């Protein structure tokens, strides 16, 4: 399933599943499967937390199957809303044309954000920025910093340029935790992952350089914005890219104003998402909706320009793309205080 958070007509965010050019509104369609489900709208976080009534992703899949059954099956291209016309229950539309909806980040306000650094190439680039070598510690277990989960931007959202002269994207994938766990054994960790999503960990390299020197990284270099979207892909969506050992053979591409600047592959992660989730859960509890970003496995301008820039500027359009995960597109805008 490709799970989205969207707005349609009113401004209330809802959770849906994208098939072809159509969004199935999960709450609206829930009566096809469940007796007396809570009224719309639902949030993706509610679904991940198993509400209503322990429903969870399995229940969401049942709802999707019921809708597809009701309309006589989805074709290879998914569903074309126009072929079926409005499909309603009790006057509530179950099918929303994708192009009439406004997509938000799948989790507009996730409970937490952990930014791992699982790429040796990117870690080495950071070490050069720092003026140091690779820390031995990085080879012993995956390392991360907590990020600002209150500054999440969605697909097509405008990113206000923060106070920096060296703004950079980071081409990443994150996994989203699907159920609570503490001291999760490595061989069970995949069961705690609800799905995967493209993530852009926007970074101010000039500020980061100072933070690295201070030995207290990272905060202001990364707290202005993190983009997430366009959808949360459940693990089955990536089946064809899955390698033995928990890695994915999945190419990641970043374009700035239409020109490719970075290309990477998830198979080059030094640590799997299961390893990152297990490590994160040591001595503390992970909760549904927690985000675990892998680090700039796909690269950034730091690598693409060998740390020299040019960097991201106002009006630049940055696109991250991966098969199965879609395109995460954001335009940079001048900050409000500069306009004022």
Pick from 69, 146, 243, 317 the residue near a copy of itself by CB under 8 A: 146
Rounded Cα–Cα distance for residues 240 and 236 (Å): 8
Classify residue 144 by its DSSP letter: E
Told to check if 219 binds a copy of itself by CB under 8 A, we report yes
Range in contact with a copy of itself (rule: CB under 8 A) among 8-16, 125-133, 193-201, 301-309: 125-133
Does residue 144 contact residue 114 with C-beta atoms inside 8 Å? yes
Q: Which is nearer to a copy of itself, 221 or 234 (CB)?
A: 221
Told to check if 247 binds a copy of itself by CB under 8 A, we report no
Q: Residues binding a copy of itself: what is the number (CB under 8 A)?
A: 48
Told to check if 124 binds a copy of itself by CB under 8 A, we report no
Pick from 179, 220, 263, 267 the residue near a copy of itself by CB under 8 A: 220
Told to check if 259 binds a copy of itself by CB under 8 A, we report no
Q: Which is nearer to a copy of itself, 83 or 163 (CB)?
A: 163
Q: Which is nearer to a copy of itself, 290 or 319 (CB)?
A: 290
Range in contact with a copy of itself (rule: CB under 8 A) among 59-67, 92-100, 111-119, 325-333: 111-119
Q: Helices 205-214 & 120-130, crossing angle to 10 degrees?
A: 80
Nearest approach in angstroms of CB 144 to a copy of itself is 5
Rounded Cα–Cα distance for residues 24 and 31 (Å): 13
Q: Which is nearer to a copy of itself, 234 or 300 (CB)?
A: 300
Told to check if 333 binds a copy of itself by CB under 8 A, we report no
Alpha helices in 191-272 (DSSP H): 205-214
CA atoms within 13 A on the CB side of 35: 0
Pick from 126, 157, 278, 322 the residue near a copy of itself by CB under 8 A: 126
Number of H helices, E strands in the chain: 9, 24
Q: Which is nearer to a copy of itself, 11 or 85 (CB)?
A: 11
Rounded Cα–Cα distance for residues 81 and 159 (Å): 32
Does residue 22 contact residue 95 with C-beta atoms inside 8 Å? yes
Rounded Cα–Cα distance for residues 302 and 256 (Å): 14
**Which string of x and - marks every residue 147-176 that binds a copy of itself (by CB under 8 A)?**
xxxxx--------x-xx-------------
Rounded to the nearest 10°, the torsion over CA 93, 108, 119, 254 is 60
Nearest approach in angstroms of CB 3 to a copy of itself is 22
For CA atoms 141, 109, 28, 179, the dihedral sign is positive
Cβ count near 315 (within 10 Å): 11
Rounded Cα–Cα distance for residues 25 and 5 (Å): 10
Pick from 1, 217, 278, 328 the residue near a copy of itself by CB under 8 A: 217
Binding site for a copy of itself (CB under 8 A): 111-112, 114, 117, 126-127, 130, 132, 135-138, 143-151, 160, 162-163, 183, 210-220, 223-225, 279, 282-285, 287, 290, 335, 337
């Amino acid at each position: 399933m490709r799970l989205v958070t969207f707005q349609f007509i009113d401004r209330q965010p809802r959770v849906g599943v994208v098939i072809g050019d159509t969004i199935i509104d999960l709450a609206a369609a829930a009566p096809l499967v469940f007796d007396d489900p809570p009224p719309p709208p639902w949030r993706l976080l509610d679904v991940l937390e198993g509400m209503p009534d322990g429903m969870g992703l399995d229940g969401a899949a049942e709802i999707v199957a019921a809708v597809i059954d009701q309309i006589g099956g989805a074709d290879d291209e998914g569903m074309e809303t126009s072929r079926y016309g409005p499909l309603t229950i009790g006057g509530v539309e179950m099918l929303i044309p994708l192009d009439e909806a406004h997509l938000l980040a799948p989790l507009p306000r996730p409970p937490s954000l952990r930014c791992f650094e699982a790429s040796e190439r990117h870690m080495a680039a950071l070490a050069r920025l720092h003026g140091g070598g690779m820390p031995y510690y990085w080879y012993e277990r995956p390392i991360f910093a907590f990020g600002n989960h209150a500054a999440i931007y969605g697909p097509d959202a405008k990113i206000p340029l923060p106070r920096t002269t060296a703004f950079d994207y980071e081409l990443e994938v994150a996994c989203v935790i699907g159920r609570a766990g503490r001291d999760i054994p490595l061989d069970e960790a995949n069961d705690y992952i609800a799905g995967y999503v493209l993530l852009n960990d926007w970074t101010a390299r000039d500020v980061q350089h100072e933070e690295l020197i201070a030995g207290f990284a990272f905060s202001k270099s990364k707290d202005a914005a993190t983009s997430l979207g366009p959808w949360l892909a459940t693990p089955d969506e990536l089946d064809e890219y899955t390698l033995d050992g928990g890695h994915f053979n999945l190419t990641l591409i970043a374009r700035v104003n239409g020109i490719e600047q970075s290309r990477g592959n998830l198979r080059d992660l030094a640590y799997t998402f299961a390893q990152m989730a297990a490590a994160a859960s040591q001595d503390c509890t992970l909760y549904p909706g927690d985000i675990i970003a892998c680090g700039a496995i796909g690269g950034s301008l730091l690598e693409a320009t060998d740390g020299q820039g040019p960097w991201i500027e106002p009006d630049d359009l940055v696109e991250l793309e991966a098969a199965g995960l879609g395109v995460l597109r954001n335009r940079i805008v001048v900050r409000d205080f500069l306009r004022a």
